[in-house]
Amino acid sequence: MAATQTQSAAPVSLMTEPRYISNRARFWLAFRRNRVAMAGLVIVILLGLGAIFAPNIAPYDPIEPHYMSRLQPPSGEFLLGTDELGRDLFSRLLYGARISLVIGFIAQGVALTIGMLLGMVSGWYGGWVDDLIMRITDVFFAIPGLMFLIVWVTIFEPGPISIFLALGLIGWPGEARMMRSQVLGIKELDYVLAARALGAPAWRIMFQHILPNALAPMIVLATLGIAGVILYEATLSFLGLGIQIPTPSWGTMVQFGKNYLPTGQWWYAVIPGLTIMITVLGFNFLGDGLRDALDPTLYE
């Protein structure tokens, strides 16, 4: 009799497991179990806090020279050392994070907006509209990204707005193709067919029914894209075509710091380079974790 009670109690405990928790709780549970994703989230949060509160955290003005403390190694006075003008590298890294994160989010926002709109139109209407948009996408895919950026900033004056537009224009094709693939699958679902049968206009169906259900993979793609944008901006600044001095930029710091590597001032180039690497890894880890947590097969 006791054995029978034990056997009948087991299924009840299984029925109360995470199968019945909300989708939001399921997502957080899957994300939290991914240690690499959590590490990426911590990195991104710390960078964001450092950028937001840079005026309160930075011990020095990022463009203020201290000529008597030129090329000082990391110490109690200058946590990460100084550059050739005696400027505090820790303060410049904090303010440089502002530039990198703002460019990353705004440029990726531009790319995401263009890509989602064109992808929705392409997937919804199909036919010659789809062919035209996809051929334009193929043309942009064929353009080397770095070469396009170099030509762009050479023609137009280098600056934040110019870099926002350039990175947004070169980054939208991937978002457009992803959105198109989502629309092609969602538009055949019953609730979309019902909305069409009731005579709902195309724009309402796309923005009220299709877009909310296609956002998850787009958010993942955008998160991964931010890392690429930050790397592109650092590359442009390293080449002298990005954010111009004296505005702090990680790429510019690496550019000037490499000249002092042979003389032993390694911190000037190595620390900003490591900051770029950790930032890119943080966003990649976060994007991979979001992709895994949003995978519906994890909850089956």
26 assigned to some structural domain: no
Distance of alpha carbon 156 from the chain centroid: 25
30 assigned to some structural domain: no
The CATH code of the domain that includes 258 is 1.10.3720.10
3-state SS, residue 144: coil
Domain that residue 256 falls in? 42-70+78-299
Integer angstrom CA distances of residue 124 from 154, 178, 192: 38, 13, 11
Side chain identity at 104, as an amino acid letter? G
* C-beta separation of 236 from 166 below 8 A: no
37 assigned to some structural domain: no
pLDDT at res. 193: 87
Find tokens 């009731």 and name the residue: 198
What's this model's pTM, rounded to 2 decimal places? 0.82
What total of structural domains would you count in the chain? 1
Low-confidence ranges of the chain (pLDDT < 50): 1-18, 298-300
Distant-in-sequence, close-in-space partners of 39: CB < 8 Å, separation ≥ 6: 282, 285
pLDDT at res. 21: 60
25 assigned to some structural domain: no
24 assigned to some structural domain: no
Query: Packing angle between helix 267-293 and helix 211-238, nearest 10 degrees?
Result: 170
Cis check for the bond before 246: say yes or no (omega within 30 of 0). Answer: yes
pLDDT at res. 38: 92
62 assigned to some structural domain: yes
11 assigned to some structural domain: no
* C-beta separation of 93 from 271 below 8 A: yes
pLDDT at res. 17: 44
2 assigned to some structural domain: no
* C-beta separation of 164 from 113 below 8 A: no
